[in-house]
């Protein structure tokens, strides 16, 4: 899966949307409640290190098994230490890619059986840009 655009996190921004106190069932409909618990600031829930966080839009199908799909936006944190099995954004021979880190076997893994592992050999230009901590997907079909 290839990263196609990078965006910096605009630190200090606040967007507070209503947070309803009742959970919304995904099964059968229930009556709507007009009661809000509080305002929800998405930064509080998704951004831990504002100065080290950036976003990118991805393309491709290699990470669908991890719930990352073509055109999703990834929230990437450079301050998080990459661990075995983390989804990361990396530069591999000059190209940005989103893969699963397999430190034990020195390779990058896809989350789709149609894509083989990528070995990271000695001398390979390889750098981890950050750990993918969340992904954002639009569920509304848009014309491009």
The fraction of the chain above a pLDDT of 70, given in percent, is 69
Of the residues 38, 71, 99, 143, only one is catalytic, namely: 99
Domain for residue 111, yes or no?
Answer: yes
Tell whether the model's pLDDT for residue 142 goes beyond 70.
Answer: no
Domain for residue 44, yes or no?
Answer: no
Domain for residue 143, yes or no?
Answer: no
Residue 128, Cα to own-chain centre: how many angstroms? 14
Domain for residue 102, yes or no?
Answer: yes
Q: Is the pTM of this model over 0.85?
A: no
Could you confirm whether 62 is annotated as catalytic?
yes
Task: List pLDDT tens digits, range 18-62.
Answer: 545 545 556 555 555 555 566 667 787 788 888 889 999 999 999
Domain that holds residue 75: 2-10+50-136
Whole-number Cα distances in Å, 26 to 19, 72, 130? 17, 22, 33
Of the residues 30, 59, 62, 110, only one is catalytic, namely: 62
Domain for residue 17, yes or no?
Answer: no
Q: For position 108, which CATH number holds?
A: 2.10.109.10
Task: List pLDDT tens digits, range 83-138.
Answer: 999 999 999 999 999 999 999 999 999 999 999 999 999 999 999 999 999 999 98
Domain for residue 114, yes or no?
Answer: yes
Q: How many distinct structural domains can be found in the chain?
A: 1
Domain for residue 142, yes or no?
Answer: no
Could you confirm whether 2 is annotated as catalytic?
no
Average pLDDT over residues 8-25: 55
Q: Which pLDDT score, from 0 to 100, does residue 13 have? A: 61
Q: Which pLDDT score, from 0 to 100, does residue 37 have? A: 65
Q: Which pLDDT score, from 0 to 100, does residue 2 have? A: 65
Domain for residue 29, yes or no?
Answer: no
């Amino acid at each position: 899966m290839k990263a196609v655009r990078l965006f910096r996190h605009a630190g200090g921004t606040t967007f507070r949307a209503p947070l309803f106190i009742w959970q919304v069932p995904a099964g059968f409909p229930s009556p709507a409640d007009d009661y809000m618990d509080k305002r929800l600031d998405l930064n509080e829930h998704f951004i831990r290190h504002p100065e080290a966080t950036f976003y990118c839009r991805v393309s491709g199908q290699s990470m669908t098994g991890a719930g990352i799909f073509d055109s999703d936006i990834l929230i990437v944190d450079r301050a998080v230490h990459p661990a075995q099995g983390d989804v990361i954004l990396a530069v591999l021979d000059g190209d940005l890619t989103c893969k699963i880190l397999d430190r034990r076997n020195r390779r990058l893994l896809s989350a789709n059986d149609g894509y083989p592992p990528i070995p990271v050999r000695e001398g390979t230009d390889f750098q981890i840009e950050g750990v993918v901590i969340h992904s954002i997907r639009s569920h509304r079909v848009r014309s491009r």
